[in-house]
């Protein structure tokens, strides 16, 4: 079926030790979507650094692939 490729960003929000409490984010302001390009993901990390001024930034960008198994409405009409 369809593969959705995008990027997400994870960080520990200034030295969180417990890995289960990592922040995983893809939003900017009130809009929430995952970046599709590495440049957009890096731009969001830089914007976060400016806004939050963390002592140690450990943000990491991850490529994710979502395999969609159900047809969309438009695909099923074809």
Q: Phi first, then psi: give them for residue 46, nearest 5 degrees.
A: -65, -40
Contact 63, 54 (CB under 8 A): no
What pLDDT, on the 0 to 100 scale, is given for residue 51?
A: 86
Range of the domain at 26: 2-77
H-helix or E-strand containing 47? helix 38-52
Q: Look up residue 6 and give its two tokens.
A: 């995008």
What pLDDT, on the 0 to 100 scale, is given for residue 28?
A: 65
What pLDDT, on the 0 to 100 scale, is given for residue 65?
A: 93
What pLDDT, on the 0 to 100 scale, is given for residue 7?
A: 92
Cα separation of 4 and 36, whole Å?
Answer: 10
User: Model's pTM, two decimal places?
Assistant: 0.74
Span 8-57, pLDDT tens digits = 999 887 766 777 778 887 776 677 788 899 999 999 899 888 888 888 88
| Number of compact structural domains in the chain | 1
Beta bridge partners of 10: 24, 60
């Amino acid at each position: 079926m369809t593969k959705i490729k995008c990027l997400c960003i994870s960080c520990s929000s200034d030295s969180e030790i417990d890995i289960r409490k990592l922040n995983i984010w893809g939003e900017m302001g009130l809009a929430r979507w995952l970046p599709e390009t590495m440049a957009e993901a890096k731009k969001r990390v830089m914007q976060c650094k400016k806004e939050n001024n963390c002592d140690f930034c450990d943000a990491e960008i991850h490529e994710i692939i979502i395999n969609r198994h159900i047809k969309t409405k438009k695909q099923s009409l074809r």
